[in-house]
Structure 1
Amino acid sequence: MRVNIKKITLIACSLVFLWLLLSYFSVLEVPKTVGPKHAAIEIENRILKLQKQMDEQIADSNKLLEKVKKHLNKNDVVKVDEFEETEPEIESVQSSDQLILPVLVIACDRVTVKRCLDNLVKFRPSKETFPIIVSQDCGHNATYEVIKSFTELDSSISVVRQPDLSEIALPRVKVKFRGYYKIARHYKFALNHVFETLGHEAVIIVEDDLDISPDFFEYFLGTYPLLLKDKTLWCISAWNDNGKKEVIDMSHPELLHRTDFFPGLGWVLRRETWTKLEPKWPAAFFDDWLRNPVNIDRKACIRPEVSRTYSFGKVGVSKGLFFDIHLRNIQLNMEYVEFTKLNLTYLYKEQYDSSLSAQVYSLPVMSAEQLMSAAPASAPVTVLYSNAKTYQRAAKRLGLMDDFRSGVPRTAYRGIVTCFVRGRRVYLAPDFEWTKYDSTWG
């Protein structure tokens, strides 16, 4: 802008000077032949007349120059004013677009929800970014009182109670699964409350029996942009189903993976995904329903190498069996990772898929038995499987969960399960060209 002002001023001054020059010659008369005695008087009169006209021209020129300066200054002020007016507007837009990721706590009749809420409050970096919404089913008053002890002290924590506490009519063979039906009903109510009633765009979902890592919120802040940009993803999970310390690399807590198997247990869901899931939400076993690739449009989730959640809920609908066999041994990450400062573009589908395939099928091949019998080493290897039975045999030998849901092995991505065993990265991969999961497996 300063350069333009100088140019315009220079042009204006040049024009004024040109005008003065032309004016001078326009008023200058060619002298006629006069007598000698009148020559001096005639010249003096002409000089005086010329001087007067020159003074008038200079006065007019000064007025014109002042007008030019005022016009330039006015334009400059307008530009500054416009900038000053739009700057707060930009700040306003930025503040209104500030990320809000509410935490939805699914609660029922466990007063130990206090432990869950204590950790959420302890580790959350911002009340504004992470308001806490507790949805309680079951009508258990003691649990409700515990929840209220938090909501009464902190306005960023709220509670809503499931209004439908009716018994669900089931055939006799399904009565033992009633708890799973109530859970699915409660989730549907709670998610509709978050998305439809409160109008949030995304939510972090945890259950009332989960501990979280110190970097739990940082993990979701860093990975949430992936969910916005990569349309082949539908969720971000804080859980690794194969998260026992014997099969993970504890020295790389920053490592993340894509997976076709819905992990749950601390996960982010977007509103646009919920609008597609809600009309067909299942009556029971919603987690296994989400593990069917057909129901999630064959999209994937992000999971960590080291879990950011840990389940302490031995008492529940599974009667503690799954907890004792598996959940008790999952390792909770305790090293803070600044995910918002990491480059996570390697998780985008195109980059991840090509890199994974090139890596897995270029490595030396060993059987699971050979691997477990060999001395610990650092070189990565691939263990191949050809069908459901050979997969389960190898998974069990490596110390992995060996079950399937809709043909998908736990933590698998494009049929490949990655783990870290005896000091080396191991890929349990199909020995055939993978195209899709076989729902008859398992």
Structure 2
Amino acid sequence: MEIAPDFFDYFEAAAKLLDTDKSIMAVSSWNDNGQKQFVYDPKALYRSDFFPGLGWMLTKSTWMELSPKWPKAYWDDWVRLKEVHKDRQFIRPEVCRTYNFGEHGSSMGQFFNQYLKPIKLNDAHIDWNSEDLSYLSEDKFLIKFGKDVANATPVHGSDDLLKAHNLYVDVRIQYNDQGDFERVARQFGVFEEWKVPLLTQFNLFMFRSRVWQVINL
């Protein structure tokens, strides 16, 4: 595992938010859709319903809550269970602060080449102690997130979006079912996993493409 130059500063700054906001369960350094073509802003952080794992931090009190029943295997999937996280959310970056170079481990082969190898590891040193992270508090984030979704330009289908080379605004695409979602995800190259909606907020799936942000809902 390789870490970004601001890895420790990022966690130090996020710890203050983690200590004060009980609606946050953990802070992660990972974005499952953090491939080079899907990220842009090294300062951007988000609240997520999904536990990303791969370099994360929680409080001692949360560890004391979870450790007596911590499973011996597949603990990341266990943390994602509703009865475990109890609707608490997770903070994750747009640009990853960790990089998994274990090509010959459990993520070997095509999965590694398609999803892990292209991950962008942050190379910009952000002065996190001077960043105001109060926008990540539950109430402020919900307001901003709602405005972002409402202001995003509706696009009727990913085909039209892929043809729009000069579109530099946030857009939103509505998907109706699993097949619809997987088709959109496949066209852009993001995870097609339907069982656990990766990095979602209120069943929304967000990623960047050509700098602008795509919101699937």
TM-score normalized with structure 1 length: 0.47
Pick from 413, 424, 427 the counterpart of residue 215 of structure 2.
427
Q: Does 1:377 align with 2:198?
A: no
Bigger Rg, structure 1 or 2: 1
CA deviations on 1:184-231 (whole Å, 9 max, x unpaired) are xxxxxxxxxxxxxxxxxxxxxxxxxx1011111111111111101111
What pairs with 1:32-431 in structure 2 (closer than 5 Å)? 210-249=1-40, 252-366=41-155, 367-404=157-194, 407-429=195-217
CA deviations on 1:247-283 (whole Å, 9 max, x unpaired) are 111xx21111111111111110222111221232224
Structure 1 pair 340/280, CA: closer, same or farther in 2 (3 Å)? same
Amino acid at match of 1:392: E
Amino acid at match of 1:240: N
Cα offset, 1:387, TM superposition: 2.2
Partner Cα separation in structure 2 for residue 269 and residue 423 of structure 1: 31
* Partner secondary structure for residue 58 of structure 2: strand
Partner Cα separation in structure 2 for residue 322 and residue 305 of structure 1: 21
Partner Cα separation in structure 2 for residue 280 and residue 414 of structure 1: 28
Partner Cα separation in structure 1 for residue 73 and residue 36 of structure 2: 32
Cα offset, 1:329, TM superposition: 0.9
* Partner secondary structure for residue 361 of structure 1: helix
CA deviations on 1:124-168 (whole Å, 9 max, x unpaired) are xxxxxxxxxxxxxxxxxxxxxxxxxxxxxxxxxxxxxxxxxxxxx
Structure 1 pair 317/420, CA: closer, same or farther in 2 (3 Å)? closer
CA deviations on 1:325-380 (whole Å, 9 max, x unpaired) are 31111010101001110111111111111221222033221121211111132111
What pairs with 1:8-23 in structure 2 (closer than 5 Å)? none
Partner Cα separation in structure 2 for residue 322 and residue 273 of structure 1: 32
Amino acid at match of 1:408: V
Partner Cα separation in structure 1 for residue 117 and residue 211 of structure 2: 23
Conserved 8 A contact 2:95-2:122: yes
Amino acid at match of 1:395: A
Partner Cα separation in structure 2 for residue 400 and residue 321 of structure 1: 14
Partner Cα separation in structure 2 for residue 325 and residue 426 of structure 1: 20
Partner Cα separation in structure 2 for residue 211 and residue 283 of structure 1: 25
Amino acid at match of 1:425: Q
Cα offset, 1:418, TM superposition: 1.7
* Partner secondary structure for residue 382 of structure 1: strand
Cα offset, 1:408, TM superposition: 3.1
Aligned to 1:38: none
Amino acid at match of 1:253: P
Provide structure 1 residue ranges, at least 5 long, that are not aligned to the other structure: 1-209, 430-442
Partner Cα separation in structure 2 for residue 287 and residue 322 of structure 1: 18
Structure 1 pair 272/321, CA: closer, same or farther in 2 (3 Å)? farther
Structure 1 pair 213/314, CA: closer, same or farther in 2 (3 Å)? same
Conserved 8 A contact 1:247-1:399: no
Amino acid at match of 1:336: H
* Partner secondary structure for residue 313 of structure 1: coil
Aligned to 1:190: none
Partner Cα separation in structure 2 for residue 403 and residue 333 of structure 1: 25
* Partner secondary structure for residue 314 of structure 1: coil
Conserved 8 A contact 1:408-1:415: no
Cα offset, 1:320, TM superposition: 4.4
Kindly tell me the number of residue pairs found equivalent between the two proteins: 216
Partner Cα separation in structure 1 for residue 127 and residue 183 of structure 2: 38
* Partner secondary structure for residue 409 of structure 1: coil
Aligned Cα RMSD in Å?
1.6
| Greater percentage in helix | 1
Conserved 8 A contact 2:6-2:125: yes
Provide structure 2 residue ranges, at least 5 long, that are not aligned to the other structure: none
